[in-house]
Amino acid sequence: MNQIHQDLTVVIHYTGLNYKIVENFLNNSLPSLQENGLEILLVFKQKEILPLISTYIKSFPFYNWKLLHASLENGSEIYELALKFCSFNRYIFLDATYLLKPSILSEFLKLNFFYSASIIIGEVSSPFANFNQNPYQKDPIIFFLGNYDLLRTMKCNNVLIPSLTQVDSIRLMQHDGAKIMVVKNAFETLIDNSVKEDNCEKYNENKTGITWYYDYQEKNYLRAAALNYFKSFDYFHLKSERIFNEKFNILAVASIHNEKKHLKDFLNNLSQNCDAIIILDDGSNDGSYEQINEEKVILKVKKQRNGFDDLENRNTLLKLSFFFNVDWILFMDADERICNKFESLESLTHEETPTAYLINFINLWDSPEFFRQDMEGERNNVKGIYQRYRLFKNIGYTQIKLGDNRKLHFPTVPYFNNSRNSRVLIYHLGVMNLSDRLIKYNFYKQDGHCVTRNNYHYLLDQQPILKSVDSLTTEDLQADKI
């Protein structure tokens, strides 16, 4: 399940007073709660344990936590409240009273991925005859209840329970009699989305005593954790703490090392195309860090360099980005320039369905006026135009997770499901000069994974096929080519 996102809210509720029960439940579940695109909504009835839980989750800032108090009694009210505050249309509903096996959540996440058009219901003992079949919602969801009693106390008018002939049973929970029912394509609808809208007035703070204690989407809750993390670097400069209250459409992030010659033009180009910038300086010794003073740079940090690890740097940038309120994140390198001739980055952000975009690249060669066409070493290459994942929607805390130990040359976004191609073009200047090409070839020889496949021998070619940059047209960048 590398480089996908779950689109899933895990709702964990508890009505008791025993903090240790909640702490044990969360400790047991933490390894599975840090998946990309997974948020955790904690709903508790007893105010007395909320400060302890708040302190607990603040010690683990790189999770998509939501924590609230609600004076609700029955399962139906808790369920409908969760519908209002979940960010996603797929849910797992857990009762913290029931300690799960360590593998249970990871198994549910696999089911969420492989049975995306199904419902999952967990139960302890189970006559199905008591439930009404009443489907509403057009979007499929996952719904899990930690115990049968909670399900039984619900109104059930929004719950569809299929017959036993439609399900596969998998024993995964702590209780010997517990099962997970996976319904394969049994229906298309389950919960009416209007439930969220209808309950907005019903579940306001005045009427139900709802109190928010933490919300990863409200960055003021993360301010202290952010400052502590920034202080872990050798140097950092935050434009202003007021930045935590601001919202940005496109945040550009970049890692640099001794890029002083590129920085002024690079930052100017980013400022024309993005709303905010974060720079990670990977141990430069040429004065690069001091030269980062563009107005739109909201944060710059500098760390000691311990060899070149592109994966670590990009994941560090994702951690830094998590503390700011942004809609889209764009990965860039200092030797790249965004071209606005065909399609703008900003226009992509108005699309509703895509959550990640492939961007077009060309390698400028020997001159800013020409690019190389015979780029055999580049994947997705069409006459010198190749694509890379760079722009993606912010869905909370994410990391780039690979199935191997590569430190460079990997898809540079944390996920790319629901993606599409674009007509945005980026100029790559890093191989334009012969001297730079020789330096890069010698550097990339350390990456045997690529050199053994001749991916970088093209850097030594003496007679490449070149084409004028000005000759490129919109048709050359058609979004449905790949």
- Residues 75, 199 within the same domain: yes
Give yes or no for a contact between 432 and 367, defined as CB atoms under 8 angstroms apart.
yes
What average pLDDT does range 166-189 have in this prediction?
A: 36
* Co-location of 311 and 352 in the same domain: no
Any idea what the CATH number is for the domain that residue 14 is in? 3.90.550
Q: Is the distance from CB of 233 to CB of 303 less than 8 angstroms?
A: yes
Query: What distance in Å separates the CA atoms of residue 228 and residue 213, rounded to the nearest whole number?
Result: 20
- Residue 321 located in a structural domain: yes
281 and 297 inside one domain: yes
Residues 316 and 447 in one domain: no
Q: 313, 334, 355: which is the final residue of a domain?
A: 334
Residue 239, pLDDT above cutoff 80: yes
Tell whether 226 is covered by a domain: no
1 lies in a domain? Answer: no
Q: By residue range, what is the domain housing residue 407?
A: 339-482
Residue 402 maps to a domain: yes
Which pLDDT value is given to residue 159?
Answer: 38
Q: Can you tell me the distance from the alpha carbon of 384 to that of 446, in angstroms, rounded to the nearest whole number?
A: 25
Cβ 416 vs Cβ 352: under 8 Å: no
Total structural domains within the chain: 3
Burial class (CB in 10 A: 0-12, 13-18, 19+), 180: buried
Could you tell me the end-to-end alpha-carbon distance of the chain, in angstroms, rounded to an integer?
23
16-24 contacts: CB < 8 A, separation 24 or more? 16/46, 16/97, 17/46, 17/48, 17/49, 18/49, 19/49, 19/52, 19/53, 21/96, 21/97, 22/49, 22/53, 22/56, 22/96, 23/52, 23/56, 24/99
pLDDT the model gives residue 75: 60
284 dihedral zone (left: phi>0; alpha: psi -120 to 50; beta): beta
Give whichever of 147-151, 268-272, 309-313 has the largest mean pLDDT.
268-272
Q: Residue 85's pLDDT is what?
A: 86
> 3-class secondary structure for 22-47?
HHHHHHHHHHHCCCCCEEEEEEECCH
Picking from 318, 334, 350, the residue at the C-terminal end of a domain is 334
pLDDT digits (tens, 9 = 90+) for 27-61: 988 988 988 989 999 999 899 999 999 999 999 99
The DSSP result for 372-392, as a single string, is ES--TTSTT-BTTBEEEEEEE
107 shares a domain with 156 = yes
For residue 451, with 0-12 CB atoms within 10 Å meaning exposed, 13-18 middle and 19 or more buried, which class applies? middle
- 90 within 8 A of 142, measured Cβ to Cβ: yes
Residues 389 and 454 in one domain: yes
Structural domain includes residue 476: yes
Band (284; pLDDT cuts 50, 70, 90) = very high
- Of 329-343, 376-390, 456-470, the one with minimum mean pLDDT is 376-390
Tell me, yes or no, whether 348 and 373 share the same domain. Answer: yes
Question: How many whole angstroms separate alpha carbon 31 and alpha carbon 159?
Answer: 30
Mapped onto helix, strand or coil, the DSSP state of residue 458 is helix
Give yes or no: residues 28 and 164 share one domain: yes
Q: Is residue 222 part of a domain?
A: no
Return the pLDDT at 161.
Answer: 38
Q: Is 258 a member of any domain?
A: yes
431 & 461 share domain: yes
Question: Is the domain of 292 the same as that of 397?
Answer: no
Verify that 114 and 238 share a domain, yes or no.
no
**225 falls within a domain:** no
pLDDT at 268: 98
Cα–Cα distance for residue pair 262/265, rounded to 1 Å:
6
The whole-number pLDDT of residue 232 equals 98
> Looking at per-residue confidence, does 90 or 124 come out higher?
90
Domain-ending residue, one of 279, 306, 334: 334
Q: Do 47 and 139 fall within a single domain?
A: yes
Residue 399 or residue 410, greater confidence: 399
